[in-house]
């Protein structure tokens, strides 16, 4: 098992076999209605040895919503009987919320919009961790990955702007990191990772992707699964991109 390799030697294949996961295994994807979430569902369904992929979204599970802890707990309870899941991916997240896009300037900040970004991207993420960590196996290697974003890196922030999205993604990363430390005591072979998928054309990104090089969702997900497969379990989370590079927090 290795830390991720640099992008120059990184060649993901479209059908990703998770060599590090004992077969057969089950997988669960939250945000399965989204572009990246549905690409994860498809890739995992094609992954050799994967016997079942459960998708969770606002449409699949009655009233599932990141703003409603009871709905998250209900979905986790419902799927517990189908587990354990050796691969869990949280592909939820939002950039435009209640019709409000990202703020470019301090003067554009308002408390309500900031609170909504945190409710969805940070608190929702924390509550998903709280209720879904127990669906990982107690023993053996397993993966818990969450869709973060490079803009959630404090050290990588060179352009500014996007205050609420950046800050809520950074907070989501901190929840993941803290959960990884706690979980390592009981699940030493679990790998936790925050993922940067590249710019993938989706409902979330399409109003903002002009000028960016885009990557197809299936290529991004193939790269992310390949990189996840190579990560070593440790008492820390990883922050990686779809080309297998680590990102500074
Ligand atoms: N696309 C990119 O270029 C890009 C770049 C960096 C990071 N990311 C991250 O990747 C993740 C997936 O993005 P995507 O591009 O696939 O976007 P997407 O197609 O809009 O998918 C977002 C997913 O999150 C769900 N979701 C949003 N708000 C929710 C809420 N309040 N309660 C429950 N579910 C909610 C959506 O459910 P509905 O279908 O019901 O709306 C959907 O399943 C996000 O965390 C995003 O920040 C994306």
Q: Looking at the CA of residue 146, tell me the nearest atom of ligand 1.
A: 45
pLDDT reading at 8 higher than 80: no
Q: What is the mean pLDDT of residues 23-47?
A: 98
164 close to ligand 1 (CB < 6 Angstrom): no
Measure 166 CA to ligand 1 centroid, in angstroms.
15
Measure 184 CA to ligand 1 centroid, in angstroms.
27
Q: What is the mean pLDDT of residues 158-180?
A: 98
pLDDT reading at 130 higher than 50: yes
Is 109 part of any domain? yes
Domain of residue 57, CATH code? 3.40.50.720
Q: What is the mean pLDDT of residues 189-207?
A: 96
Could you tell me the pTM of the whole model?
A: 0.96
pLDDT at residue 12, as a whole number: 53
Is 9 part of any domain? no
| Confidence band of 11 (pLDDT split at 50, 70, 90) | low
Is 52 part of any domain? yes
pLDDT at residue 4, as a whole number: 46
As for how many domains the chain has, the answer is 1
| Confidence band of 39 (pLDDT split at 50, 70, 90) | very high
Measure 157 CA to ligand 1 centroid, in angstroms.
21
pLDDT reading at 7 higher than 50: no
Pocket test for ligand 1, best of 92, 100, 215 (most atoms within 8 A of CB): 92
pLDDT at residue 159, as a whole number: 95
66 close to ligand 1 (CB < 6 Angstrom): yes
Is 79 part of any domain? yes
pLDDT at residue 51, as a whole number: 98
200 close to ligand 1 (CB < 6 Angstrom): yes
Percentage of residues in the chain with pLDDT exceeding 70?
95
pLDDT reading at 187 higher than 70: yes
If you average pLDDT over every residue of the chain, what do you get? 94
36 close to ligand 1 (CB < 6 Angstrom): yes
Is 247 part of any domain? no
37 close to ligand 1 (CB < 6 Angstrom): yes
Is 56 part of any domain? yes
Is 10 part of any domain? no
| Residue with the two structure tokens 């703020």 | 103
**Domain around 44:** 16-241
- Per-residue pLDDT tens digits for 92-122: 999 999 999 999 999 999 999 999 999 999 9
91 close to ligand 1 (CB < 6 Angstrom): yes
Measure 139 CA to ligand 1 centroid, in angstroms.
30
Q: What is the mean pLDDT of residues 145-159?
A: 97
pLDDT reading at 10 higher than 60: no
Is 248 part of any domain? no
């Amino acid at each position: 098992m290795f830390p991720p390799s640099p992008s120059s030697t990184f060649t993901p294949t479209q059908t990703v076999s998770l060599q590090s996961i004992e077969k057969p295994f089950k997988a669960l994807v939250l945000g399965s209605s989204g572009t990246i979430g549905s690409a994860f569902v498809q890739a995992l369904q094609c992954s050799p040895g994967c016997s079942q992929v459960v998708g969770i979204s606002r449409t699949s599970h009655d009233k599932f919503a990141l703003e409603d802890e009871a709905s998250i707990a209900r979905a986790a309870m419902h799927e517990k009987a189908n587990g354990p899941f050796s691969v869990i991916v949280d592909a939820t997240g939002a950039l435009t919320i209640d019709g409000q896009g990202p703020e470019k300037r301090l003067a554009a900040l308002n408390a309500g919009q900031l609170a909504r970004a945190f409710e969805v991207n940070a608190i929702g993420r924390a509550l998903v961790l709280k209720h879904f960590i127990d669906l990982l196996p107690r023993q053996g290697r397993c993966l818990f990955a969450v869709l973060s974003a490079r803009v959630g890196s404090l050290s990588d922030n060179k352009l500014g702007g996007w205050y609420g999205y950046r800050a809520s993604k950074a907070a989501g990363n901190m929840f993941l990191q803290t959960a990884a430390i706690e979980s390592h005591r009981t699940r030493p072979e679990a790998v936790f990772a925050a993922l940067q998928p590249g710019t993938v054309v989706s409902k979330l990104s399409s109003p903002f992707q002009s000028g960016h090089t885009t990557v197809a969702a299936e290529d991004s997900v193939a790269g992310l699964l390949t990189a996840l497969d190579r990560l070593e379990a440790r008492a820390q989370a990883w922050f990686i991109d779809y080309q297998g590079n680590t990102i500074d927090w």
